[in-house]
Structure 1
Amino acid sequence: MNQDYIKPNNWSIIEEGFEPERVKSSESLFSLGNGAMGQRANFEEYYSGPTFQGSYIAGIYYPDKTKVGWWKNGYPETFAKVLNAPNWIGINVFINGEPLDLFRCKAVNNYRRELNMKEGSYVRSFTATLQNDLEVSVKVTRFLSIQRDELGVINYEVEVLNADAKVVFEPYIDSGITNEDANWEEKFWETLQVQDEGRQAFITSKTLKTEYHACTYMESRLLENGRIVDAQPETSTKEELISYLYSIQAKKGEKVTLQKFAGYVTSLNHDKDHLIPAAKAVLQDGLEAGIETLLQEQNEAWAKIWEMADISIEGDVKAQQGIRFNIFQLNQTYLGKDARLNIGPKGFTGEKYGGSTYWDTEAYCIPFYMATKDQNVARNLLTYRYNHLDKAIENAEKLGFKNGAALYPMVTMNGEESHNEWEITFEEIHRNGAMVVAISRYVNFTGDYEYIPKKGLEVMIAIARFWQQRATFSTQKEKYVILGVTGPNEYENNVNNNWYTNYIAKWCIDYCLKNLAKVKSDFTEDYKRVIEKTSLTEEELQNLEDVSDKMYFPYSEEYNVFLQQDNFLDKEIVPVSELPKSQRPINQKWSWDRILRSCYIKQADVLQGFYFFEDHFSQEDLERHFNFYEPLTVHESSLSPCVHSIQAAVLGRMEQAYEFYLRTSRLDLDDYNNEVKEGCHITSMAGTWMSIVEGFGGMRVLDGKLSFNPRIPKEWKAYSFKINFRNQILKINVAAGKTSFSLEGVEPLDIIVNGQLITVEPNNLVTV
């Protein structure tokens, strides 16, 4: 564990004491979002110390020109960047002409930030002694409205403690921003218009290349001891910035406050020529409502989210704080309201990785949204990929595949591949399988089979075609092999016959063939339409069957396990426990050459297959493979601890399951991988939810019924969660030795608990 400054608390993330070296990490951890926009927790006032400025608008991106040392045929020409958007939070503060800058203050005391996850607001407070010896007490409250998702609000309160003083607030909006991760240090925005209307300011700008238009807007009001002061600000306008200066003579011990209402309206939701009127309408509504009403709305919106999504843990504050932080960030990132959006790997907390969509959505996030919201949200996420099918076929064509074979991108905004590290872009093809796994899990959980004939089958056919063309028949083995790949373990590149890749390829083909038969018999009209659209032939079906039947899987007779890939045992097999701590994390301490030659595994690889296809293997199989692979795993991917936690729980190894749970739930809070300053790991947070619900709760869907095998870590007194299963809400409460179930709904629900069939009646507690 690398950091330990976040105070344990059930409902809040709290930092006490001002430490400049923690600022960037805290900017990530205290980030805010409302599904439509978000920002790192940068200070509103000027800060001259190290900081990572970041504000983001969902769905707006820029195709930055690829930067690689040596161009390879097939490289995507651009890398889709999550854009640092114009800054609207800025409020410079001057006391008797001296700027408030925490990096330069003579002293900073009582410094505290709190992210209140229950209510969706962020409060920062401190006392500071400025260079001119004036002492001030400051309290800042900020939130992004969930109900009115184009609006953000800041309440900035200053009290001069040791003298009367002139306080100047300078709220501003600034479109002259850049991305930290720009490949060529280009600007991504063009400012079109800076407009001042007395107290209201507007900057309209557009993204270069993608031509998204945005209007960043603000209006502020000044308060003295809680009463609005009719102050006319001075205006300062530059090419890409507009600011207002509000001056007030503050008596010693009196509170003066600037309230700022600001945010974005964009061409995603409005006519690009009517952005300023749209911004004015948002401002009018927000100002009329006022901060108290807006905060009340915010509380109610979050209460509704928590009512369904919360996981409550008794007796372990750090575990409780961890899961709520994960659930909070997932909901700040994506609320399921807009089918054009997806779940970016950093959400609104940073720029790293670019793109809004990885295979993480299908592999990890869909179960969370499906069970804590409703099946329509999950169906939207599947539809997002269906809508990108033509682009996935185009991506495959660029690499030489034909006949409608599809390769879904590793990273994308609009369906085009926009990742450009060859060993991932061209080789990490197992991502294709996650698209089909997601469809299968969705249908299994919701019972909404109709998705397959309407949309899913076309995706399956295109992916099956890809696997059939990507496999090569080995005359030596008399089997189909898949050469030159990178499996989920990215510490192995360009390997042959990664077991997980071969296994998911075979499964995708089998699942496609099985569903073709079912759609043919039960949905004849859809079947005809799909066959006509895809031009699928009998000969192709036979080829697909042949590849599936003859797929090769590397296996070790000596260890009685599937091998991660050919020649895995040529490596020197030394468990992670024998690695000195000074060598960890290896991705920051070792050369890439050394990592590739080592036996060390970044994240679940063979075990990822055992997680997805659990019902294909016995518990003894899982135990053998877990015993072999987990000791070689360094867990340097955020997606690793959750899968291992679930499997350790299945094996009854609760201490290990709990340790992995803490690691996944507090990955960012405790900064295990020493990188939280770049942003939080949003998509893996859904894996934290799975580690409780599927790991400790043992939830599965068997023959259309929810099934549970509940277990509880010894550190907990009890835990509870809710599942929205086919529009009935089941609450599960697990304590040592007993589990109780209650149902919100009108129909009784049959569930399986520890292998026994039980009926739960509505509004009636059943204890097992």
Structure 2
Amino acid sequence: MLSYNGQTPELEQWSFTETSFNPLAQGKCESVMSLGNGYMGLRSATEEAYIGGTRNLFVNGTFNRFDELEVTELPNAADVTQIELLVDGRRFSLETGDTADYERTLNLRDAELTRSFVWRSPDGKRIRFEFRRFVSKDDLHLIGMKLRMTPLDEGITLRLTSGINAQAANSGSQHFHEGEKRIFDKKYLQLVQTTTESKVDFVLSALHRFLIDGHPFEPALQMEIERRKMEMAYRMELKAGQTLELHKLVQVHTSRDADVEAAGDLEKLRAHSLEALKKAESAGYDGLFERHRQAWAEIWSRYRVEIESAHRFDLLALRFAIYHMTVMTPVHDRRMGIGAKGLSGEGYKGHSFWDTEIFILPFFIYSEPSVARTLLEYRYLGLEGARKKAEENGFRGAMYPWEVAWPSDGEVTPVWGAVDVVTGKQTKIWSGFIEQHITADIAYAVWHYYKASGDQRFMDDYGYEMIFDTAVFWASRLEWNEEASRYEINGVIGPDEYKEHVDNNAFTNYMAHFNLLLAIQYYDELKDRDPQLLERLESKLGLERGPQEWREKADAIYLPQPDGRGIIAQDDTYLQKQELDLTPYKSQAKVGTLFQDYSLDQVNEMQVSKQADILMLFYLLENRFAPELKRANYDYYEPKTLHDSSLSFSTHSILASDFDDKKLAYELFRRAAEIDLGPHEHSSDAGIHAASLGGIWQCVVMGFAGIRMLDGALHVHPKMPDAWERLSFPLFWKGTKLQFNVTKERMEISADTQEEIELVIYGKKMSFQGRLQFELMHI
């Protein structure tokens, strides 16, 4: 069970706590309390091992393919967190004896995991335990752990075993060769392994330091090396009242490290890793943690958001979202993207989806544009794989993979998925073949970033090429319907993945149309502004016929229109399908319960949607649709939407804000926030829901604060929830940092420059220098 009250008054709305340990539901806290720094992610399994626990350490960008029949995935690196404790010859476990005062807490402010309790052994001896852990934001390669234990009533004999365990796997898939294990000076452990297919070298180095009552102590030691595993076993006697302290420091390096000059030479990398470990040893655990804490203090200073709400959970939920977006984002290396589960679990194998561009990227566009640029450069590097996919499918241009790993790999979506409850056969995953809207989604993200940041250099170096080459793809993908005299897009999957092989998915068609218009616009602009750049792009991409073809096909592409009720068909056949009362499934504690009763083929013939589909258009391309049209479609499609995707609640919440339905908008915001942080025990077993976390931020800033970029202008239209008294947040706009402070009566905007800022507030153009204040009731 989770408690959302602060562990201490200073951590109120900065922390949440597991108040009792349930060995049958370990995945929840392992995921939501995971640690990381963008370079690596560490799942928060307990130090002592339990059946059902999952120990994960992932290093971003180190993808490997187990064999030719499986897709590439982030390999689970050796475990460095397990500690085996024998107390008086008995294995310590919370499943034996009695436990009191149990607390496991994630401190978001300092990015620190703590766990404490008093354990009474089966022999009746009470011992106080305290565990602490961090993954450094100051040194991206460092993991720090601390254990304190104090026998309270009687002395104990203790055997403590800790080391590096490379017997870990990805659900059975072993991605590493055996490797080399070395122990230096009876103190420093080092494991060297190489992935089997991608040939990425991993070097993990670790040390242990002991203190008793604050004084250094060297217990009796036994070194143990086994297959894929090496440990240090320490023996000691502790008297009642004595406090043993263990500090464990770990350095993690790979041959893909862009920040380590020695990364390309394995012997030099080994030496560098050991040297870095000794340097960390000199700084000491407490000094290293303080550097890490200061690095996070700077992050929270940049991302400072404040909410005064009747429900204190709201600010905690937003900080939780920002925390995880920080720990999963590889700001250090543009060759890497964001996995759909971040770095918190094996779900989706570490692959990146459209989640990044549509749900996560806006946070960085408006909070730290340099990071947004890095994420888009990852997609630019991915043009190689996108062009390969287009060619393999008989198209031209850049056809972005539905799932992507290393940018040049191309499509890495698995072919087979879960079992069909009706046929008993494994279900084919068609997304990698026919879910194609991601190509336009990425073009949209390039445009969004450019319009909000004004980063012309990015467009010249990367953006125009991405938009032009995706337009080339759509021009080759469109199919001519002679009978209807129009271009169509047939046989696809839209955002609603419960509808496969549909024709003219409205979201896909409209986004492809947007992509083509964007390419036409920028081609015409470059003819005047930079003809030399245009000439280079024409030569590189073969655009001799491009602009003419884009215009012809954009003019003739089929864009589904509203019927007499104002409803736009999600696809050609959706409105003719059977309707189903979803009431029994809407209150589900776990997604996908519909498939306990129906197969995917059966659901494909029902008016049932997995998530927001056509409604996404009313958010991304909102100025193309009238308000009454949006509401009519919302009222039609929401009852038919199961929200089986974590992407769904935030979109619906933002649209509810647009409709001035404050109660519904807030309710959906809370449901989005509770996907990971809420009470459902197994919602996050495979990892956190990365896109949902970006959606939480968008609910607040795009929904409640009403921030939108429309036609290159920044629009503001606050619609605060009734439970909120104040909202404050930073926002970057075209290189200027703005600070918004919104109450129900007044809004104040301050800028970090005296240059004139232009905004559109409640539809009225305004300009100011330095600071703008006004009464909302007067607008």
Q: Summarize the Cα distance change of 1:275–1:232 in structure 2 as closer, same or farther, 3 Å threshold.
A: farther
Question: Aligned partners of 1:376 and 1:287: how far apart in 2?
Answer: 33
Match among 23, 26, 31 for residue 29 of structure 2:
26
Equivalent residue, structure 1, for 2:558: 552
Equivalent residue, structure 2, for 1:309: 303
Gaps of 5+ in 2: 7-11, 258-262, 416-428
Equivalent residue, structure 2, for 1:395: 389
Question: Aligned partners of 1:745 and 1:293: how far apart in 2?
Answer: 37
Larger deviation, residues 754-763 vs 503-512? 754-763
Confirm whether residue 454 of structure 1 aligns to residue 461 of structure 2: yes
Equivalent residue, structure 1, for 2:217: 229
Confirm whether residue 39 of structure 1 aligns to residue 33 of structure 2: no
Please give the secondary structure, in 1, of the residue aligned with 2:85.
strand
Q: Is the 8 A contact 1:6 1:15 kept in 2?
A: no
Please give the secondary structure, in 2, of the residue aligned with 1:721.
strand
Deviation at 1:274, TM superposition (A): 1.8
Q: Map 1:90-129 to 2 at 5 A.
A: 90-103=82-95, 105-129=96-120
Equivalent residue, structure 1, for 2:423: none
Question: Aligned partners of 2:134 and 2:160: how far apart in 1?
Answer: 19
Match among 269, 278, 287 for residue 275 of structure 1:
269
Q: Is the 8 A contact 1:204 1:216 kept in 2?
A: yes
Equivalent residue, structure 2, for 1:71: none
Q: Summarize the Cα distance change of 1:596–1:6 in structure 2 as closer, same or farther, 3 Å threshold.
A: farther
> Letter of the aligned partner of 2:716 in structure 1?
F
> Letter of the aligned partner of 2:228 in structure 1?
E
Deviation at 1:621, TM superposition (A): 2.0
Question: Aligned partners of 1:674 and 1:594: how far apart in 2?
Answer: 27
Q: Is the 8 A contact 1:454 1:526 kept in 2?
A: no
Equivalent residue, structure 2, for 1:82: 74
Gaps of 5+ in 1: 68-77
Equivalent residue, structure 1, for 2:737: 729
Deviation at 1:353, TM superposition (A): 0.7
Equivalent residue, structure 2, for 1:565: 571
> Letter of the aligned partner of 2:324 in structure 1?
Q
Q: Summarize the Cα distance change of 1:303–1:248 in structure 2 as closer, same or farther, 3 Å threshold.
A: same
Larger deviation, residues 743-752 vs 630-639? 743-752
Please give the secondary structure, in 1, of the residue aligned with 2:548.
helix
Question: Aligned partners of 1:601 and 1:179: how far apart in 2?
Answer: 31
Deviation at 1:702, TM superposition (A): 4.7
Please give the secondary structure, in 2, of the residue aligned with 1:87.
coil
Q: Summarize the Cα distance change of 1:767–1:267 in structure 2 as closer, same or farther, 3 Å threshold.
A: farther
Equivalent residue, structure 2, for 1:502: 509
Q: Map 1:437-448 to 2 at 5 A.
A: 437-448=444-455
Question: Aligned partners of 2:723 and 2:579: how far apart in 1?
Answer: 34
> Letter of the aligned partner of 1:515 in structure 2?
Y
Please give the secondary structure, in 2, of the residue aligned with 1:666.
helix
Match among 697, 700, 714 for residue 705 of structure 2:
697
Please give the secondary structure, in 2, of the residue aligned with 1:81.
coil
Q: Is the 8 A contact 1:561 1:625 kept in 2?
A: yes
Question: Aligned partners of 1:89 and 1:62: how far apart in 2?
Answer: 23
Q: Summarize the Cα distance change of 1:580–1:659 in structure 2 as closer, same or farther, 3 Å threshold.
A: closer
Deviation at 1:59, TM superposition (A): 1.1
Q: Is the 8 A contact 2:31 2:688 kept in 1?
A: yes
Q: Is the 8 A contact 2:3 2:16 kept in 1?
A: no
Equivalent residue, structure 1, for 2:651: 643
Larger deviation, residues 518-527 vs 123-132? 123-132
Aligned residues: 747
Question: Aligned partners of 1:763 and 1:288: how far apart in 2?
Answer: 48
Deviation at 1:758, TM superposition (A): 4.0
Match among 408, 411, 430 for residue 404 of structure 2:
411
Please give the secondary structure, in 2, of the residue aligned with 1:361.
helix
Q: Map 1:636-675 to 2 at 5 A.
A: 636-670=644-678, 674-675=682-683
Please give the secondary structure, in 1, of the residue aligned with 2:349.
coil
Q: Is the 8 A contact 1:310 1:327 kept in 2?
A: no
Question: Aligned partners of 2:631 and 2:529: how far apart in 1?
Answer: 40
> Letter of the aligned partner of 1:413 in structure 2?
W
Question: Aligned partners of 1:298 and 1:4: how far apart in 2?
Answer: 26
Match among 589, 592, 614 for residue 622 of structure 2:
614
> Letter of the aligned partner of 1:226 in structure 2?
G
Q: Summarize the Cα distance change of 1:621–1:672 in structure 2 as closer, same or farther, 3 Å threshold.
A: farther
Please give the secondary structure, in 1, of the residue aligned with 2:100.
strand
Deviation at 1:169, TM superposition (A): 2.0
Q: Residues 441-475 of structure 1: CA distance to partner in whole angstroms, max 9, x if unpaired?
A: 01110112343333222222221222122221111
Deviation at 1:335, TM superposition (A): 5.2
Q: Summarize the Cα distance change of 1:175–1:343 in structure 2 as closer, same or farther, 3 Å threshold.
A: same
Deviation at 1:501, TM superposition (A): 0.7
Please give the secondary structure, in 1, of the residue aligned with 2:677.
coil
Please give the secondary structure, in 2, of the residue aligned with 1:62.
coil
Question: Aligned partners of 1:764 and 1:586: how far apart in 2?
Answer: 50
Q: Residues 131-164 of structure 1: CA distance to partner in whole angstroms, max 9, x if unpaired?
A: 3433221000100110111111111011112211
Equivalent residue, structure 2, for 1:145: 136
Larger deviation, residues 117-126 vs 279-288? 279-288
Q: CA RMSD in A?
A: 2.1
Equivalent residue, structure 1, for 2:177: 190
Deviation at 1:747, TM superposition (A): 3.2
Deviation at 1:703, TM superposition (A): 5.8
Deviation at 1:339, TM superposition (A): 1.2
Q: Summarize the Cα distance change of 1:226–1:767 in structure 2 as closer, same or farther, 3 Å threshold.
A: farther
Equivalent residue, structure 2, for 1:51: 53
Q: Is the 8 A contact 1:488 1:603 kept in 2?
A: yes
Question: Aligned partners of 1:516 and 1:445: how far apart in 2?
Answer: 20
Q: Is the 8 A contact 2:4 2:13 kept in 1?
A: no
Equivalent residue, structure 1, for 2:715: 707
Question: TM-score, with normalisation over the residues of structure 1?
Answer: 0.93
Question: TM-score, with normalisation over the residues of structure 2?
Answer: 0.92
Question: Aligned partners of 1:302 and 1:353: how far apart in 2?
Answer: 28
Deviation at 1:752, TM superposition (A): 3.0
Question: Aligned partners of 1:229 and 1:64: how far apart in 2?
Answer: 43
Q: Map 1:330-409 to 2 at 5 A.
A: 330-334=325-329, 336-373=331-368, 375-402=369-396, 404-409=397-402
Question: Aligned partners of 2:362 and 2:107: how far apart in 1?
Answer: 26
Q: Summarize the Cα distance change of 1:712–1:196 in structure 2 as closer, same or farther, 3 Å threshold.
A: same
Question: Aligned partners of 1:28 and 1:492: how far apart in 2?
Answer: 30
Q: Summarize the Cα distance change of 1:56–1:464 in structure 2 as closer, same or farther, 3 Å threshold.
A: same
Equivalent residue, structure 2, for 1:489: 496
Equivalent residue, structure 2, for 1:242: 230
Larger deviation, residues 758-767 vs 141-150? 758-767
> Letter of the aligned partner of 1:558 in structure 2?
G
Match among 16, 19, 22 for residue 19 of structure 2:
16
Percentage of matched positions with identical amino acids = 26
Equivalent residue, structure 2, for 1:530: 537
Q: Is the 8 A contact 1:262 1:283 kept in 2?
A: yes
Deviation at 1:5, TM superposition (A): 5.6
Q: Summarize the Cα distance change of 1:246–1:747 in structure 2 as closer, same or farther, 3 Å threshold.
A: farther
Question: Aligned partners of 2:187 and 2:206: how far apart in 1?
Answer: 8
> Letter of the aligned partner of 1:293 in structure 2?
G
> Letter of the aligned partner of 2:569 in structure 1?
L
Q: Is the 8 A contact 1:358 1:412 kept in 2?
A: no
Confirm whether residue 207 of structure 1 aligns to residue 169 of structure 2: no
Q: Summarize the Cα distance change of 1:573–1:743 in structure 2 as closer, same or farther, 3 Å threshold.
A: same
Q: Summarize the Cα distance change of 1:6–1:23 in structure 2 as closer, same or farther, 3 Å threshold.
A: farther
Equivalent residue, structure 2, for 1:75: none
Q: Residues 79-135 of structure 1: CA distance to partner in whole angstroms, max 9, x if unpaired?
A: 1212111111122112122221223x1212211111000111110011222334332
Match among 480, 484, 494 for residue 473 of structure 1:
480
Q: Summarize the Cα distance change of 1:100–1:263 in structure 2 as closer, same or farther, 3 Å threshold.
A: farther
Question: Aligned partners of 2:563 and 2:714: how far apart in 1?
Answer: 37
Q: Residues 353-389 of structure 1: CA distance to partner in whole angstroms, max 9, x if unpaired?
A: 114321111112221112222x222122111111121
Larger deviation, residues 133-142 vs 425-434? 133-142
Confirm whether residue 263 of structure 1 aligns to residue 251 of structure 2: yes
Equivalent residue, structure 2, for 1:70: none
Match among 633, 640, 648 for residue 632 of structure 1:
640
